[in-house]
Amino acid sequence: MMDGKTLILGIETSCDETAASVTADGRTVLSNIIASQIDVHKVFGGVVPEIAARHHLTQINGITAEALRAASVQIEDIDAVAATMGPGLVGAVLIGLATAKGIAFAADKPLIGVHHIRGHIFAAFLEHPELEPPFLALVVSGGHTSLVDVRGYGRSDVSVPAVSAGRNEPGGSAPLGGAFRSDMEVLGRTRDDAAGEAYDKTARVLGLGYPGGPKVDALAKQGNPDAVHFKRVMLEDGTLDFSFSGLKTAVINHVHSLRQAGTEPNASDIAASFQQAVIDVLAEKTMDALKRTGRASLAVCGGVASNSALRTRLADDCARAGIRLCVPSPVYCTDNAAMIACAGYYDYKNGRRDGLGLDAYATLGL
Ligand code: KG4
Ligand code: ZN
């Protein structure tokens, strides 16, 4: 607590960013430190889980200390430590979670495990003080593509055993117990690949390297989105589910058949055409979900939410439909710890506490 404000230290290590942040009352970011491992994984064309975990291990203590220093606070000032508990690369998640446990134990602070995707959704609060549930969230990351109806701030009205009234004890509340009732409902999800994965694979076949999303985004600006018609997979009538594996395969087949015929594909046209197909599906389903739920606000979250064309399209569609659009700045779309501290703040306020026995999870329901 400082100046009457609740301070949360957030830690995020679920993939290839080692990140720590301090937030005040959930929504004010006092520091947001991110060490990216892009250069380490670039040579492999993607994230290598064991290498990611090892790098988190060497980075995390320095990054955490830097987050406290940049926020001009001491560990004693912190009210709780929140860390991503999953979903993610489990070895990578473990490093951040173990670090958070160590700090919670040594400094006698409550520990709060945060769902990574819930964190992405809460990122929308960081720069939009007016945003309150209920609202619709479009989550588009490397591993997830979902439409989520957000009805509250946390797992508040559930009976979570309060483990850390004093010092944390090992073996506290399990995050997956039947006692939890989520205040978020997933209205639609991808049945195969996430949008981000389709971006990364498209970038790979075009030889753009890793990470692919931002490179396809940039290249598409110079291309013709009507150059190649890729099918918009809407699935059967009435579902808000997505499917991107067909599109990914169509792009790969298109590029390979051109090369087999001795023609080098026009990378910017293919990037633009692929991107248009993704955005048409995302925007159409999102606007449909808004109509069905009657929600007046839309938050767009996750790494792909930093895509410039998606942002423009949704801004246009929302303006036409009278929907308030909240998209975080790119730094809060891709993995960061401020979003974890924000989600952790609301769990803390709602009385949620986790024990030192909290596990890391590769998969985890919202
Ligand atoms: O949320 P995130 O940082 O990590 C996960 O939780 O997965 O999302 C990473 C994904 C990657 O697939 C990356 O290529 C994609 O987000 N991405 C983008 C852009 N920036 C990142 N996709 C399209 N356009 C971008 N500008
Ligand atoms: Zn993420």
The confidence score (pLDDT) of residue 180 equals: 54
Q: What is the DSSP string of 270-336?
A: HHHHHHHHHHHHHHHHHHHHHHHH--SEEEEESGGGG-HHHHHHHHHHHHHHT-EEE---HHHHSS-
Ligand 1 geometric centre to CA of 147 (Å)? 17
Ligand 2 geometric centre to CA of 263 (Å)? 37
Phi-psi region of 57 (alpha: psi -120 to 50; beta: other; left: phi over 0): alpha
CA-closest candidate to residue 22, choices 37, 35, 12, 36: 12
The confidence score (pLDDT) of residue 12 equals: 98
Mean of pLDDT over the chain:
91
Cα Rg of the chain (Å, integer): 21
Ligand 1 pocket test, pick from 314, 334, 336 with the greatest ligand atom count within 8 Å of Cβ, gives 334
Angle between helices 267-293 and 308-321 (to 10 degrees): 30
Is the pLDDT at 179 greater than 80? The verdict is: no
Q: Which atom of ligand 1 is nearest to the CA of 334?
A: 3
Strand spans (E) along the chain: 7-12, 17-24, 28-36, 80-86, 111-115, 135-140, 145-150, 184-189, 297-301, 324-326
CB 139 within 8 A of CB 120: yes
Separation of alpha carbons 105 and 108, rounded Å: 5
Separation of alpha carbons 339 and 83, rounded Å: 10
Which residue reads 């929907």 in tokens? Answer: 323
> Can you read off the two tokens belonging to residue 24?
């005040």
Separation of alpha carbons 211 and 47, rounded Å: 9
The confidence score (pLDDT) of residue 33 equals: 98
Separation of alpha carbons 272 and 284, rounded Å: 18
AA identity, residue 123: A
Separation of alpha carbons 319 and 355, rounded Å: 45
Is the pLDDT at 191 greater than 50? The verdict is: yes
Strand order in the sheet with 297-301: 184-189, 145-150, 135-140, 297-301, 324-326
Q: What is the pLDDT of residues 119-173, one digit of tens each?
A: 999 999 999 999 999 999 999 999 999 999 999 997 643 334 333 333 333 333 3
All residues at 6 or more sequence positions from 136 whose CB lies less than 8 Å from its CB, including other chains: 147, 148, 149, 150, 187, 286, 289, 290, 293, 295, 297, 298, 299
Averaged pLDDT for residues 69-73: 98
> Can you read off the two tokens belonging to residue 14?
């679920």
* Residue 220 confidence class, pLDDT cut points 50, 70, 90: very high
Is the pLDDT at 217 greater than 80? The verdict is: yes
> Can you read off the two tokens belonging to residue 62?
């320095």
Ligand 2 geometric centre to CA of 95 (Å)? 16
The confidence score (pLDDT) of residue 155 equals: 62
The confidence score (pLDDT) of residue 202 equals: 97
> Can you read off the two tokens belonging to residue 68?
């406290």
Q: What is the pLDDT of residues 194-205, one digit of tens each?
A: 999 999 999 999
Q: What is the pLDDT of residues 310-332, one digit of tens each?
A: 999 999 999 999 999 999 999 99
* Residue 174 confidence class, pLDDT cut points 50, 70, 90: very low
Averaged pLDDT for residues 6-29: 97
The confidence score (pLDDT) of residue 248 equals: 96
Residue 140 φ then ψ, to 5°: -130, 100
The confidence score (pLDDT) of residue 175 equals: 45
Percent pLDDT > 70 in the chain is: 93
Ligand 1 environment, Cβ below 6 A: 15, 141-143, 196, 199-200, 211-214, 217, 302-304, 306-307, 334-335
Q: What is the pLDDT of residues 224-240, one digit of tens each?
A: 999 999 999 888 888 99
SS3 category, 69: helix
